[in-house]
């Protein structure tokens, strides 16, 4: 049976597409600039391939121009251009990508060029802002120029045109403003500059635009000494390059100064302070990417709140895909900011998202290891800096262990710091462990409001006297974190308010048992007086100079109970 072809109502299809794939209409410019970059790459590649020299990347600029009166915006390039047939095929057929064909036909092109296009729909994004589009193009293969014109859904025409050299100029006549929608923003220099730096800053060719400026000139109104009485200005235009072209993360670490990294971080992530640490990473293999990461010096004001959004900027071939890609960062390192650039992501059609997250998972795993190693080396080599870090973000590490039910323990346990009874400075668990006495069965901890208060807690007295060190836990999350870890390096954690501290030997145990037996009536009498406020009253060997203390039975300590009770139901 003969198969029939699907028919498509192309007018409706175009409208649907234009209005539904993109969330943000400003990306039309990203798409046109990406196409111009692809076309320029193709021309450059072609020249290299044919052995023609004399083409210089810097001269192959992409140009933006605005005509405020005519309400047009022009994007032009000196790229490969299109023949009449190519105009019809590429711009007249939805989902036809000349760039994808090029990539497939030129496998060797990978190293020299960085083709962005693949879906064959980006061009139509122009109709989100334009009521009329004219594309004048001359192919590098011929000497005729052609003009493709369209008002959108109604179709297009192609007629002969004039153009002196190969390349393409796309003139958008902006839509009329309505009460809801104003398109004039796309005629404003600062707005266009903003869009270019946001999405296309790392396009490898200069993106240039004439910019209005003014300068002081010598005036006619002079004073007695011949100086100007009133300053006079004249305006002039200067063509400026808007993009920075070479991504700082693709440079080798030695090529970039500390100041450059700091400035980049502060500009990009709006921080008034320099970062505490810069991390660079590039890998090839399973996950191929370049990353430039920063640990901020201070937690943002909303860091420990629901408003905080974690994520890294994700670029593909130098084009911004996502501003905050959350999947690239595990929660326990959510404080990290920065950029990941990867060429082999499977983008979805709007190029605002990814199709599946297998590659992201690989990158996330690799970044997680990298961040951990960097923190560990900071801890080892610059303790002071690490402690600054820990004061800002330590809570997040503790939370990471707790919320993964201990799953993140191997990764994070050695990054934790605690004040202890031995020294009033921070100690790692490893340092505590190394100082443990030979006969010490447990890692002891006491939870409370402050180290000062814990220092005079009756429960801790005998332990301290016997030379056992105690971790002082002063954050609400602390005890929950230790419970999630259960043990460290073979030693269980034990609260100093626990019923049994494991410090008495058999004869001491017997002795206490006997004393409790002998004083049964007295203890019952005290219990009676206290009523339901305690569950038992016993004699203990743990006290030295204090007469009484409270202890807890079971898994939930007194401090944990306080935290749990203070949480909203």
Could you tell me which stretch among 10-18, 32-40, 149-157, 413-421 binds ligand ADP (CB under 6 A)?
Answer: 32-40
Candidates 78, 76, 97; CA nearest to 86 is: 97
Residue nearest to Mg ion (CB): 122
CB closer to Mg ion, 122 vs 296: 122
State the nearest-atom distance from the C-beta of 312 to ligand ADP, in Å.
25
How are beta strands 130-138 and 145-150 bridged, if at all?
antiparallel
CB closer to Mg ion, 35 vs 359: 35
Task: State yes or no: residue 83 binds ligand ADP (CB under 6 A).
Answer: no
The alpha-carbon radius of gyration of the chain (Å, integer) is: 34
The site map against ligand ADP for 162-181 (x = CB under 6 A) is: ------x-------------
For residue 211, how far is the Cα from the chain centroid?
32
What's the CA gap between 457 and 543, in Å, rounded?
10
- Spatial contact of 373 and 333, defined as CB atoms under 8 Å apart: no
Was 120 annotated as part of a binding site?
yes
How are beta strands 232-241 and 207-217 bridged, if at all?
antiparallel
Identify the residue among 46, 90, 200, 495 touching ligand ADP (CB under 6 A): 90
State the nearest-atom distance from the C-beta of 88 to ligand ADP, in Å.
11
**What is the SS3 assignment for 563?**
helix
State the nearest-atom distance from the C-beta of 126 to ligand ADP, in Å.
9
Could you tell me which stretch among 30-38, 257-265, 292-300, 382-390 binds ligand ADP (CB under 6 A)?
Answer: 30-38
Residues 6+ positions from 174 with CB-CB distance below 8 Å:
71, 72, 73, 129, 130, 131, 183, 184, 186, 187
State the nearest-atom distance from the C-beta of 247 to ligand ADP, in Å.
21
Identify the residue among 25, 47, 61, 119 touching ligand ADP (CB under 6 A): 119
CB closer to ligand ADP, 80 vs 454: 80
CB closer to ligand ADP, 81 vs 400: 81
Was 514 annotated as part of a binding site?
no
CA distances from 77 to 50, 168, 205 (A): 21, 5, 10
**What is the SS3 assignment for 561?**
helix
Task: State yes or no: residue 31 binds ligand ADP (CB under 6 A).
Answer: yes
- 316 contact, one of Mg ion, ligand ADP, none, CB 5-8 Å limit per kind: none
- Spatial contact of 30 and 195, defined as CB atoms under 8 Å apart: yes
Contacting positions for Mg ion (CB under 5 A): 35, 117, 122
**What is the SS3 assignment for 256?**
coil
- Spatial contact of 175 and 186, defined as CB atoms under 8 Å apart: no
Was 97 annotated as part of a binding site?
yes
Residues 6+ positions from 411 with CB-CB distance below 8 Å:
332, 368, 372
Structure-block tokens of residue 422: 């031995």
Give strand pairing partners of 214. 235
Residues 6+ positions from 135 with CB-CB distance below 8 Å:
82, 87, 91, 147, 148, 149, 168, 169, 170, 171
Candidates 144, 96, 130, 113; CA nearest to 40 is: 113
Task: State yes or no: residue 35 binds ligand ADP (CB under 6 A).
Answer: yes
CB closer to ligand ADP, 31 vs 364: 31
State the nearest-atom distance from the C-beta of 74 to Mg ion, in Å.
17
State the nearest-atom distance from the C-beta of 67 to ligand ADP, in Å.
19
Task: State yes or no: residue 36 binds ligand ADP (CB under 6 A).
Answer: yes
State the nearest-atom distance from the C-beta of 23 to ligand ADP, in Å.
18
What's the CA gap between 117 and 529, in Å, rounded?
82
Identify the residue among 28, 98, 243, 379 touching ligand ADP (CB under 6 A): 98
The site map against ligand ADP for 221-240 (x = CB under 6 A) is: --------------------
Was 121 annotated as part of a binding site?
yes
What's the CA gap between 295 and 286, in Å, rounded?
26
Task: State yes or no: residue 152 binds ligand ADP (CB under 6 A).
Answer: no
Was 90 annotated as part of a binding site?
yes
State the nearest-atom distance from the C-beta of 119 to ligand ADP, in Å.
4
DSSP 485-543: H-EETTEEEEETTBS--S---HHHHHHHHHHHHHTHHHHHHHHHHHGGG-S-----SS-
**What is the SS3 assignment for 57?**
helix
State the nearest-atom distance from the C-beta of 204 to Mg ion, in Å.
16
Was 340 annotated as part of a binding site?
no
CB closer to ligand ADP, 90 vs 316: 90
State the nearest-atom distance from the C-beta of 78 to ligand ADP, in Å.
10
Was 369 annotated as part of a binding site?
no
State the nearest-atom distance from the C-beta of 173 to Mg ion, in Å.
20
CB closer to ligand ADP, 42 vs 409: 42
Q: What is the largest CA-CA distance in the chain?
A: 114
- 448 contact, one of Mg ion, ligand ADP, none, CB 5-8 Å limit per kind: none
CB closer to ligand ADP, 104 vs 450: 104
Site for ligand ADP in 473-512 (CB under 6 A): none
CB closer to Mg ion, 117 vs 394: 117
CA distances from 224 to 217, 221, 228, 229 (A): 18, 10, 10, 10
Task: State yes or no: residue 64 binds ligand ADP (CB under 6 A).
Answer: no
Give strand pairing partners of 213. 236
Was 200 annotated as part of a binding site?
no
Task: State yes or no: residue 368 binds ligand ADP (CB under 6 A).
Answer: no
- Spatial contact of 169 and 136, defined as CB atoms under 8 Å apart: yes
Task: State yes or no: residue 118 binds ligand ADP (CB under 6 A).
Answer: yes
Annotated binding site: 31, 35, 77, 82, 90, 96-98, 118-123, 168, 351
Q: Which residues bind ligand ADP (CB under 6 A)?
A: 31, 35-36, 39, 77, 79-82, 90-91, 97-100, 117-123, 168
Binding residues for ATP: 31, 35, 77, 82, 90, 96-98, 118-123, 168, 351
């Amino acid at each position: 049976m003969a198969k029939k072809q699907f028919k498509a109502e192309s007018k409706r299809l175009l409208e649907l597409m234009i209005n539904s794939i993109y969330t943000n209409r400003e990306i039309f410019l990203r798409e046109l600039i990406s196409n111009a970059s692809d076309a320029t790459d193709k021309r450059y590649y072609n020249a290299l391939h044919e052995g023609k020299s004399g083409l210089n990347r810097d001269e192959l600029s992409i140009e933006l121009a605005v005509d405020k009166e005519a309400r047009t915006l022009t994007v032009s390039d000196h790229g490969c251009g299109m023949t009449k047939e190519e105009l019809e095929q590429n711009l007249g057929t939805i989902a036809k990508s000349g760039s994808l064909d090029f990539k497939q036909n030129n496998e060797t092109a990978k190293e020299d060029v960085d083709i962005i296009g693949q879906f064959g729909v980006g061009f139509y994004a122009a109709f989100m802002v334009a009521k009329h589009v004219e594309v004048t193009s001359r192919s590098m293969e011929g000497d005729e120029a052609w003009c493709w014109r369209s008002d959108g859904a109604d179709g297009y025409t192609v007629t002969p045109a004039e153009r002196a050299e190969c390349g393409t100029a796309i003139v958008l006549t902006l839509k009329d403003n309505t009460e809801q929608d104003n398109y004039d923003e796309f005629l404003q220099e600062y707005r266009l500059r903003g869009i270019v730096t946001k999405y296309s800053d790392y396009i490898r060719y200069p993106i240039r635009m004439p910019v209005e400026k003014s300068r002081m000139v010598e005036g006619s109104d002079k004073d007695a000494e011949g100086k100007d009485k009133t300053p006079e200005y004249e305006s002039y235009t200067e063509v400026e390059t808007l993009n920075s072209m070479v991504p700082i993360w693709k440079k080798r670490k030695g090529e970039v100064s500390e100041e450059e990294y700091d400035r980049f971080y502060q500009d990009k992530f709006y921080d008034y302070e320099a970062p505490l640490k810069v991390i660079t990473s590039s890998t090839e293999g399973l996950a191929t990417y370049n990353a430039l990461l920063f640990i901020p010096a201070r937690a943002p004001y909303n860091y420990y709140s629901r408003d905080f959004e974690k994520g890294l900027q994700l670029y593909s071939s130098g084009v911004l895909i996502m501003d905050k890609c959350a999947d690239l960062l595990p929660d326990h390192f959510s404080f990290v900011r920065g950029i990941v650039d990867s060429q082999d992501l499977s983008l979805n059609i709007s190029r605002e998202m990814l199709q599946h997250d297998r590659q992201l998972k690989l990158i996330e795993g690799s970044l997680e290891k990298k961040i951990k190693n960097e923190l560990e080396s900071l801890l080892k080599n610059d303790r002071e800096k690490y402690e600054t870090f820990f004061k800002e973000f330590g809570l997040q590490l503790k939370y990471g262990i707790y919320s993964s039910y201990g799953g993140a323990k191997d990764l994070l346990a050695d990054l934790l710091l605690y004040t202890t009874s031995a020294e009033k400075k921070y100690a790692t668990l490893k340092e505590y462990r190394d100082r443990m006495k030979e006969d010490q069965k447990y890692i002891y901890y006491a939870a409370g409001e402050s180290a000062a208060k814990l220092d005079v807690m009756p429960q801790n007295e005998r332990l301290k006297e016997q030379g056992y060190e105690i971790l002082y836990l002063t954050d609400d999350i602390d005890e929950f974190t230790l419970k999630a870890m259960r043990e460290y390096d073979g030693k269980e954690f034990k609260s100093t308010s626990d019923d049994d501290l494991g410090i008495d030997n058999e004869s001491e145990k017997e002795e206490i048992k006997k004393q409790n037996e002998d004083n049964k009536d007295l203890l019952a009498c005290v219990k009676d007086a206290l009523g339901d406020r305690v569950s038992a009253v016993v004699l203990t060997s743990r006290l030295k100079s204090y007469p009484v203390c409270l202890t807890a039975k079971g898994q939930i300590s007194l401090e944990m109970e306080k935290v749990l009770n203070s949480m909203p139901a």
